[in-house]
Amino acid sequence: MSADHEKTWKPENGLLDRLCEETCARIEPMLHRVDLPLGKILYNSGTRQSHMYFPRSGIVSMLYVTESGDTSEIAMVGNEGMAGSAVLVDSHSTPSQAVVQLAGEAYAIRAEDADREFRRGGDFQFVVLRYTQFVLAQMAQTAVCNRHHTVEKQLSRWLLLCLDRTVSNELRFTQEAIAGKLGVRREAITEAAGRLQEASVIRYSRGRIHVVDRPALEQHSCECHAVVKGEYERLLGATLS
């Protein structure tokens, strides 16, 4: 991307930032800035998706919802990536749900425009395919983590992934909300958060989690966070932070 174009358009999204000047000039008119208020559902499981989203800020949680209504987070998307890639494979729907868990804003592009640009090949197709591979890796690592690691390690990993996608060391999540993301009992999150607070890693009060010592939080986490970050760097040549 040329210096002139950088001055006129700064996407502030890890994928859009990697597009060349020619691609940016072509797709910029197709992108519309939209708000991502807390709790907004970008798409539901089994329903037709009309847009792809490239967050500039905030966090989108990709959830799997069971028939009983229970949920579990399978991946997390921030300003490093995108949500809604099903529009590119003619399915237009997935068994997962995308919900805003931290408010922000994004660029939205209509499904037909995204599909047309993807079929051109070039750098848009390249970054979308690379990021899709990253999301699959994140899903696989999440499944392994939830099966083999303690709730304290899962919580530490999850907090680190959130920190990677925000500029603040303070996160606003209730223990009940975190339990729903990790698919564990609320009491287990209470106990795990209590141990981290006793170790002076975090401070937790009234739905606010302040990470006091990130290096210590990394020590309390399992290897899964580092694996996910490493995969993003390998596939997209950038740091997830």
Residue 77's closest CA among 234, 232, 238? Answer: 232
Q: Which CATH architecture has domain 150-221?
A: Orthogonal Bundle (1.10)
* CA–CA dist 153, 146 (Å, integer): 9
Band (5; pLDDT cuts 50, 70, 90): very low
Q: Which amino acid is it at 109?
A: I
Alpha carbon distance 54, 69 (integer Å): 27
Q: Which residue has the tokens 């559902």?
A: 41
Where do the domains of the chain lie? Answer: 3-122, 150-221
Regarding pTM above 0.85, the answer is yes
Cβ pair 23, 123 in contact under 8 A: yes
Average pLDDT over residues 148-176: 94
**Phi and psi at residue 94, to the nearest 5°:** -140, 165
Alpha helices in 88-222 (DSSP H): 111-119, 122-148, 151-163, 175-182, 186-198, 214-220
- Does 8 score more than 70 pLDDT? no
Question: CA angle 143-114-230, nearest 5°?
Answer: 35
C-alpha 193/C-alpha 202 separation (Å) is 8
Confidence of residue 49 (pLDDT cuts 50, 70, 90): confident
Q: What is the pLDDT of residue 72?
A: 87
C-beta of residue 11 within 8 angstroms of C-beta of residue 54: yes
| Average pLDDT across the chain, whole number | 90
The mean pLDDT value for 115-141 works out to: 94
In the structure, what pLDDT confidence band is assigned to residue 6 with cuts at 50, 70 and 90? very low
* Topology (CATH) of 3-122: Jelly Rolls (2.60.120)
Cβ(53)–Cβ(60) under 8 Å? Answer: yes
